[in-house]
Amino acid sequence: MKRTSRLFTHSLFGPVLKILFREGKMPSLVNTEIEAAVKGFLIDQEKMTEVVERMTKEIKMGLAKDTHSRAVIKCFVSHVQDLPTGKERGKYLALDLGGSTFRVLLVNLLSVSDVEIVSKSFNFPVTLMSGSGKALFDFLAECLSEFCHYHGLQNESLPLGFTFSFPVQQQGLSKGILVAWTKGFSCEGVVGRNVVTLLQEAIDRRGDMKVNTVAILNDTVGTLMSCAFYHPNCRIGLIVGTGSNACYVEKTVNAECFEGYQTSPKPSMIINCEWGAFGDNGVLEFVRTTYDKIVDKVTPNPGKQTFEKCISGMYMGELVRLVVMDMVARDLMFHGTTSEKMQERWSFKSSYISDIESDAPGEYRSCNKVLSELGIVGCQEPDKEALRFICEAVSSRSAKLCACGLVTIINKMNINEVVIGIDGSVYRFHPKYHDMLQFHMKKLLKPGVKFELVVSEDGSGRGAALVAATAVQGKAKL
Ligand code: BGC
């Protein structure tokens, strides 16, 4: 789904949107006990302001040299200091690992209006997510080789940008140490290692292509760069997909963990916040529910990525499922029984939330489809209303927390106008996410601050190529 971007200021904001979201109002068909069960997800303005305050503190700790080691929001230095000029040219390869699919891309930057992208998605065997690091990187190299041979690129010395969407401590554009796995990955022997070396070694082991990994980047950075190629005022990159995170353009002098922060001739540095870890020190307990705690326990990284687990697509569906199962156990939904499928962990996909909320009020076409996929039969309108209500509770908390994060960053940057490049399945496919984000940001921002939320296309393609271009040009100058 492609969205057109819209620019809103406070004055343009009317009461219209208020009725779009059933803020605090309970639909009549929903049982009061169900209403009480989801109450924990409904965070009010006061709590949102508190989230912004707490997050501001954590971001400052991440940026400062003295506090960085104990900060939960790490604010990693990306080593990307140049936003695109629109003059970048050339042919680059890109790898994209970190979401629900693995992709290999060939990007040809011909002109600002002509960027050719050829890509292939590969089925990513789930067993690889928890296997050995060697198996993972051998698989990436194998897919890359297949792609290069298919397109006759095996003898070309092409630079490669590696979009690796996990928390990485970068020591340069082409050196990044994995700090922790997230989003269900747990491959052995990778944490603490330079992932560029691991990838390049796997490529070289094959000896059947001439690819050179010149840059590693986070998906948020690719998203920002890709958006900035067309929107010069883009200063923030956001992902709300399987995981969630944001990056932004900071003054180099504030990026204290960058060696040259006081001497660099370049005024800016993109900071990869890694905001998913916000709350890992307990400061977000006031917006978490008992269901969040259950989800957390069954993930491979309990106690970690607290903010992400409240926001992103990997977890939203499971949150809904847990609430529903609780309501069924209390005989408040589906006549107290449910399907085998619904009893399986992670069986309620987050995309179902988008589907269910796409139905017009009083209609249940998508909802019925979801219910039938889950093997739930014979439910009545109040059940469907309740399901929709639970979905809305989970998705609106996600959008509110995301709005808090963006407002924290905008306040920290102290700017009055900004474009935010966004990617990720939740933002793209949820029918109201964009509007909810916009609505809550408006409520939290200082009057007069203008922002534009823009879908950023091909962050891991065009964005990765732009970062690789920076790396290649940087080397040429040395
Ligand atoms: C990772 C981030 C990434 C985000 C979105 C998180 O789990 O830690 O590096 O940007 O997911 O993909």
How many Cβ atoms sit within 10 Å of the Cβ of residue 404? 27
Choice among 96, 138, 219, 458 that is catalytic: 219
Active site residue 292: no
Q: What pLDDT, on the 0 to 100 scale, is given for residue 124?
A: 85
Q: Which of 164, 239, 275 to mutate to test the pocket of ligand 1 (most atoms within 8 A of CB)?
A: 239
Pocket of ligand 1 (CB under 6 A): 98-99, 165-167, 182-183, 218-220, 239, 241, 243-245, 274, 276, 308
Q: Are 241 and 99 in contact (CB under 8 A)?
A: yes
Cα 362 to ligand 1 centre (Å):
36
Q: Which of 76, 103, 218, 310 to mutate to test the pocket of ligand 1 (most atoms within 8 A of CB)?
A: 218
Q: What pLDDT, on the 0 to 100 scale, is given for residue 459?
A: 86
Q: What pLDDT, on the 0 to 100 scale, is given for residue 12?
A: 33
Choice among 183, 309, 384, 432 that is catalytic: 183
Separation CA 165–CA 183 (nearest Å): 10
Q: What is the pTM of this model?
A: 0.93
Residue whose CA lies nearest to ligand 1 atom number 1? 166
Q: Are 95 and 160 in contact (CB under 8 A)?
A: yes
Q: What pLDDT, on the 0 to 100 scale, is given for residue 474?
A: 64
Cα 108 to ligand 1 centre (Å):
26
Active site residue 219: yes
What Rg, from alpha-carbon coordinates, does the chain have? 22
Mean pLDDT by 10 residues, the chain (478 residues): 34 37 55 93 97 98 98 98 90 90 93 91 91 96 97 95 97 96 96 98 96 96 94 96 97 97 96 98 98 97 98 98 97 93 97 98 96 93 96 98 98 98 97 98 97 92 91 61
Q: What pLDDT, on the 0 to 100 scale, is given for residue 151?
A: 97
Residue whose CA lies nearest to ligand 1 atom number 6? 243
